[in-house]
Amino acid sequence: MVDTPPARPAPDHPRPTFARPRWACLDGPWDFAEGRPGDTPRDWDWDCTIEVPFPPESAASGLGLERCDHPRYRRTFTLGSDIEAPGPGERLLLHCEGVDHEARVWVDGQFVGRHEGGYTPFTLDITDALGEGPGHEVVIAATDLARDLEQPRGKQDWHDQPHAIWYGRSSGIWRSVWLEVVPATRLASVAWTTLDTFGRLRGDIRIEGWAEDDDLAVEASFAAAGIDLGTVRVGATASVVEVGARLGRAAHADTPLLYWTPDNPMLIDVRLRLVRGDEVLDEVAGYTGLRTIGVRGGTVELNGVAVFSRLVLEQAYWPDTHFTAPSLEALRAEAELIKGMGFNGLRIHQVSADPRFLRTCDEVGLMVWADVPAAYVHTPRSTALNSRTLTELVERDRNHPSVVAWVPYNESWGVFEVADSAQQQAAVRAAYWLAKALDPSRLAIGNDGWENVAGDLVGVHDYTHDPAVLAARYGSPDAVSATLSGVRPGGKLLLVDAPTPGTPAVLSEFGGVSLPREADSWGYGAVPDASALLGKVAGLVAKVGAASGLVGFCWTQLTDCLQEQNGLAWPDRTPKAPLGALREAIGAQPPPISLL
């Protein structure tokens, strides 16, 4: 068997850190119907078509419905044409990257499974449901009740029309649906963790179909910039195999610096193989990055070096496609726009990121804070759904080095009595500790902005447009401490409990300067033209930058979104001022010289 250095998966693969070559996307025209509670496929009249994965409320779907609580979908696929037919000992998997909020699935008339949770993917083994012949039918019934405030909705409005800070809905299928042929005994998942600043990497690899009497082993091959870094082989004595490698010290004089940072977003390409003797049973391509993030001495350190975060609030909303990106090219352009504006990261706000967008963030060098989309009431069900969403997001995204922080709750959304309710405070603390239990290698903020309960950082939201006020509140460590010890104007409590001494503070929402086009739009403060916009941005950022008492900021927001027109770019992603001028206003340094 001749080896070559592992290569990264194709750019369009829906799960870029765990990819096999035998897959097929089912996006495109599907039959569509509106259903009702408790119905089944025999009840539906397929009277129109929809363009998947665009939600039925969006113009790009071809429907543009105002409200669709029960969207129903059907399409056929052909084995040997749409996708290679599984052979003996192989299975056919159906992957759904996002179906909001609950999905029920049938294949060839047989019910094959369900999933609850609109912001996370699910996978079903549909092999045993396949009927005779090459042609087969998939039916997906979604339920997404517009008025259900217990389910995670993020920025999706529960009113008939978008209002205030909430936008149009993305019900039903809103991310890709795809098929994959896999071996029955296969690699099921991998979780990569950088253990220290010396580049020790650990992979926890789960095997589907492992048997105690089977002589299996896992091989992991590593490369960077096309340079082979070696292969590790570990016998599979259990269904989870731990693989370790020390990659931080270059094996060759021409090996580039291997650690991932925004200025040097080096990625480690990985090929995993499941072998029995010399026989390769399964092979998966992916990548990760050598990157540690943590808090020490009142600072945030990336790979052991203090880092100041210049983030932007990313709503990930497009006028014609809602929370679904218009294209793969749009995802890359989004990340490159953020980088070009001078930010070194973003907060993906109240929506889960498309994994292909995270791949671009990995490749261009952007640090990502990942929100869990909020419910708007607090009940045992909403708490359970929050925990499930967080758990599934960590499992999906933990191999992306760009993701540096988990945010289970935004402000007090869904826990509106958290300042006084012991139960709601317990929900936030539990979410923080769940994030740390699932993934101790990243930062976690229990609830970000107002009534902070638990977190590795204290997140503060402050939309004052007076630079002198910002300087007085955050201009030095002593000023930040004094600000956190009080109550903000309007009676907003900043801290429920005093944080551990030395806990850093981030101005995790501020700015919101509006250059409006529409009479009914709004922002946190309007300016008349692009020149005034640049002056306002520069004046505010100058008071909260690296010389302040903060360890980072997050500017609100990247783009205008419907009536909320306080973006640095228009809804079509055209910047409101020249990129170079925006970059200078954000306080970014000139782009670094490439090390490659």
Structure confidence by residue, pLDDT tens digits, 332-386: 999 999 999 999 999 999 999 999 999 999 999 999 999 999 999 999 999 999 9
How does pLDDT run across 173-192, given as a tens digit for each residue? 999 999 999 999 999 999 99
Q: How far is CA 332 from the centre of its chain?
A: 14
Mapping DSSP onto H, E and C, the string for 51-69 reads EECCCCCCHHHCCCCCCCC
d(Cα 230, Cα 535) in Å, to the nearest integer? 51
Among 115, 180, 455, which residue's Cα sits nearest to residue 300?
455
Secondary structure of the chain: what % helix, strand, coil (to 5)? 15, 35, 50
Burial string for 12-41 (b: 16+ CB within 10 Å, else e) reads ebbbbbbbbeebebbbeebbbbbbeeeeeb
pLDDT at 2: 52
Neighbours of 263 (CB within 10 A): 14
| Residue 328: partners with Cβ closer than 8 Å, 6 or more residues away | 11, 12, 356
How does pLDDT run across 281-307, given as a tens digit for each residue? 999 999 999 999 999 999 999 999 999
d(Cα 138, Cα 76) in Å, to the nearest integer? 6
450 has a pLDDT exceeding 50: yes
35 has a pLDDT exceeding 60: yes
DSSP string over 403-451: EEEEESEETTTT-TTTTT-HHHHHHHHHHHHHHHHH-TTSEEBSEESSS
525 has a pLDDT exceeding 80: yes
pLDDT at 591: 53
pLDDT at 536: 97
413 has a pLDDT exceeding 60: yes
d(Cα 192, Cα 169) in Å, to the nearest integer? 34
d(Cα 33, Cα 548) in Å, to the nearest integer? 56
Q: What is the mean pLDDT of residues 520-527?
A: 87
Among 102, 269, 273, 78, which residue's Cα sits nearest to residue 173?
102
CATH fold for the domain made of 186-288: Immunoglobulin-like (2.60.40)
DSSP string over 335-369: HHHHHHTT-SEEEE-SSPPPHHHHHHHHHHT-EEE
d(Cα 225, Cα 219) in Å, to the nearest integer? 20
| Cα separation values, 265 from 288, 290, 363, 400, 595, Å | 11, 10, 6, 11, 10
Question: Tokens representing 376?
Answer: 């708007």
Where are the domains positioned within the chain? 23-182, 186-288, 305-586
**147-156, 256-265, 438-447, 518-527: lowest mean pLDDT where?**
518-527
What pLDDT band is residue 489 in, cutting at 50, 70 and 90? low
Question: Tokens representing 37?
Answer: 């509670």
531 has a pLDDT exceeding 60: yes
pLDDT at 595: 36
Q: Are 428 and 420 in contact (CB under 8 A)?
A: no
d(Cα 310, Cα 542) in Å, to the nearest integer? 12
Neighbours of 361 (CB within 10 A): 29
Coil vs helix vs strand at 482:
helix
pLDDT at 596: 34
Question: Tokens representing 159?
Answer: 């009113």
**Average pLDDT, rounded, for the chain:** 94
First to last CA, the chain: 30
Query: What interhelical angle do 530-541 and 579-586 show, nearest 10?
Result: 20
How does pLDDT run across 70-111, given as a tens digit for each residue? 999 999 999 999 999 999 999 999 999 999 999 999 999 999
497 has a pLDDT exceeding 90: no
* Measured CA angle at 360 (ends 432, 556), to 5 deg: 60
Question: Tokens representing 592?
Answer: 């670094």
Element at 231 (helix H, strand E): strand 227-235
What pLDDT band is residue 593 in, cutting at 50, 70 and 90? very low
Say yes or no: domain 23-182 is CATH 2.60.40.3080. no
CATH entry, 305-586, from 3.90.25.10, 1.20.120.1200, 1.10.15.40, 3.20.20.80: 3.20.20.80
Q: How many residues are given for the chain?
A: 596
What percentage of the chain exceeds 90 in pLDDT?
Answer: 88
Place of tokens 């929506």: 351
The predicted model scores a pTM of 0.96
d(Cα 291, Cα 399) in Å, to the nearest integer? 11
pLDDT at 198: 87
d(Cα 296, Cα 264) in Å, to the nearest integer? 22
Question: Tokens representing 593?
Answer: 């010289």
pLDDT at 256: 56
More confident residue, 520 or 103: 103
Q: Are 549 and 484 in contact (CB under 8 A)?
A: no
Q: Are strands 409-410 and 447-448 parallel, antiparallel or unpaired?
A: parallel
d(Cα 218, Cα 295) in Å, to the nearest integer? 34
pLDDT at 252: 44
249 has a pLDDT exceeding 60: no
| Residue 437: partners with Cβ closer than 8 Å, 6 or more residues away | none
What pLDDT band is residue 414 in, cutting at 50, 70 and 90? very high
